[in-house]
Structure 1
Amino acid sequence: MTPTVIIQLFVFLLAGFVGFQTITRIPPLLHTPLMAATNAISGISLVASLVLAGSNQGLFSTILGTIAVGCATANVVGGFLITDRMLAMFKPAKLEAKESVA
């Protein structure tokens, strides 16, 4: 292993640890705004993966870009579904009854 790979692995592990510690300590009241910000970041990833898939830099980069598009799309759609479900928990019961009738 080269020193660059070791440093990159260390940064990746440190970022994962710090991210896990940050997410587990967020109060429940802030989960919805955090999900909205995460969805925005996932949208940026989706745009970047579309650019990579369509850059015509070779077969390998096109395949990786296509896989990235699929993963980023699943992440964005799943994030919006979860956010919508979380926001539905804060609706009063009267609004839910009216929406189910309509």
Structure 2
Amino acid sequence: MEQLLAQLAILVIAAFLGFELISRVPNLLHTPLMSATNAIHGVILVGGMIALAASDDVFTQIVGFVAVFFGALNVVGGFWVTNRMLGMFRPPVPKVKKRKR
């Protein structure tokens, strides 16, 4: 029980610290920050797949598969949002006028 309380305290402190840090990042730096965190999460996802392959218990494999699945969705969604954010910095493409015959 004591270990669970310590882990919950770490979770709460990490969530609070993460919120405070992200809220103080200037808007201009959100895109590079998201790109970097997506790359880090990709590495964590590979570690999750390795841990999933090494597990023997069926329940652990099911929970690990669900975690890897949602982690992969998070990485894909993060890169999609980052791509859209980078699109805001691209110059607009000039429209081509159709010639009348």
TM range (shorter): 0.7 to 0.9
With structure 2 as the length reference, what TM-score do the two structures score?
0.85
Alignment-derived partner of residue 8 in structure 2? 9
Structure in which a larger fraction of residues adopt helix = 1
Q: Alignment identity in percent?
A: 44
**Can you give the 5+ residue segments of structure 2 that lack an aligned partner in the other structure?**
97-101
* 1:52–1:62 Cα contact (<8 Å) kept: no
**Can you give the 5+ residue segments of structure 1 that lack an aligned partner in the other structure?**
none
Structure 1 residue 3, shift from structure 2 partner: 2.6
Q: Provide the C-alpha distance between the structure 2 equivalents of 1:60 and 1:92, rounded to a whole number of angstroms.
A: 51
1:92 correspondence with 2:91: yes
State the number of aligned residues.
96
* 1:46–1:72 Cα contact (<8 Å) kept: yes
Divergent runs of 4+, >6 A = none
After superposition, the CA RMSD in angstroms is 1.7
Q: Provide the C-alpha distance between the structure 2 equivalents of 1:58 and 1:7, rounded to a whole number of angstroms.
A: 26
Q: Provide the C-alpha distance between the structure 1 equivalents of 2:39 and 2:24, rounded to a whole number of angstroms.
A: 21
Q: Provide the C-alpha distance between the structure 1 equivalents of 2:43 and 2:63, rounded to a whole number of angstroms.
A: 17
Distance 1:4 1:53, change over 3 A: closer
Rg larger in 1 or in 2? 2
Q: Provide the C-alpha distance between the structure 2 equivalents of 1:23 and 1:93, rounded to a whole number of angstroms.
A: 29
With structure 1 as the length reference, what TM-score do the two structures score?
0.84
Structure 1 residue 39, shift from structure 2 partner: 0.5
